[in-house]
Amino acid sequence: MMKGNILVSGGSGYIGSHTCIELINSGYKPIIVDNLSNSDIQSLDRIEEIAGERPEFFEINLCDREALNQIPKSLRIDALIHFAAFKSVNESVADPLMYYHNNLESLVNILRFCTERNIEHLVFSSSCTVYGDAKELPVTEETPLQKASSPYGNTKQISETIILDYLKVHPELNTISLRYFNPAGAHPSAKIGELPRGIPNNLLPYLTQTAVGLRDELKVFGGDYNTKDGSAIRDYIHVSDLAEAHLKAFEFMKSGKMTSNYDLFNLGSGNGYTVLEVIKSYEKVSGEKLPYQIVDRRPGDVEKIWASTEKAEKILGFTPSRGIDDITKSAWEWEKHYRKNIEKSIS
């Protein structure tokens, strides 16, 4: 029995596609809205192959408010999960206006769309970058926000403020902001995973692309941080765990147990790993030696951050089930599977 329709903006992207699989497996019908600026239409094929159902798809740029009228008003939408945004820290440093326009304009249009279509539940894709260079570790949801270290992080801070201001005059809209730490890894089937366009900005895809010879070597940005080995520390959460957390957030809203129409949760593993520790994990699970070079720090990066997961565990009942070795192994299996299929299609 189908439980309801959930509109997923950015649903053909990395986290969005994994979440669509989780929604289908749990009896929901995802409807994807995406402009394919950083994703591949073939992700719909992969979702269908894994979950047995092909999501309905609308190619729409969310910065174009009128384009949202392509979604029929007769289509009942029970909830909206808003992933669609640009997400590269260093790209945002190089082109801040592109980030402010895309990430904020799309959110404004999504909020208006929720009101126009009487959508009562919204899950917003936020980020641990809102904490800036946090003074307390691990960070809790009450940790004071510092000045964002990048325009990308600032768009997420501003987005949360926009949502809070909007909810004051639209109490009928229940919203949860999920502050991701570092999503990584790939689906256990190895049939879908992170597939960035151009040079990857995230560690895991750059790492696996280096392993298959697409990149000469991995660059480790900064070897003089105040950490155990000098490289920066991050909290990595498996993308499939993250996808499950979105479902739990929606079902928590639907249960009527929210004490107000807004809440927020950290989504991480609760563990901090240095870049060099992630490289060692990859080398262990793959049996491959990875060439890397330590270079200067990268503008916009913070030294170290990891999450307190207590609130998500207590209220959402969410605990990640996959560790760092699961993350690196699944990323490697996906890379091999993807490259093998490319070679088949060429031959």
User: How many Cα neighbours within 13 Å face the side chain of 277?
Assistant: 18
Tokens of 20: 């669509």
Euclidean distance between CA atoms 347 and 344, whole angstroms = 5
Euclidean distance between CA atoms 105 and 62, whole angstroms = 8
99 is catalytic: no
Q: Is the dihedral of CA 312, 316, 322, 328 positive or negative?
A: negative
Q: What is the DSSP letter of 34?
A: E
Using CA atoms, how far residue 203 sits from 3, 8, 221, 292, 331, in Å, is 37, 25, 10, 12, 11
Q: What HEC string does 219-237 produce?
A: EEECCCCCCCCCCCEECEE
Q: What is the pLDDT of residue 347?
A: 37
Residue type, 114: C
User: H or E segment at 29?
Assistant: strand 28-34
Give one DSSP letter per residue of 106-149, joined into a string. HHHHHHHHHHHTT--EEEEEEEGGGG-S-SSSSB-TTSPPPPPS
User: Do 326 and 282 form a contact (C-beta atoms < 8 A)?
Assistant: no
pTM of the model: 0.95
Q: Look at the block and give the residue holding tokens 């091999």.
A: 336
Domains of the chain: 4-346 (3.40.50.720)
Q: What is the pLDDT of residue 346?
A: 40
Torsion angle, alpha carbons of 174, 177, 178, 182, to 10: 160
User: Which residues of the chain have a pLDDT value below 50?
Assistant: 343, 345-347
List 57's β-bridge partners, or say none. 32
Neighbours of 157 (CB within 10 A): 19
Q: What is the pLDDT of residue 1?
A: 65
Active-site residue identified among 152, 166, 206, 338: 152
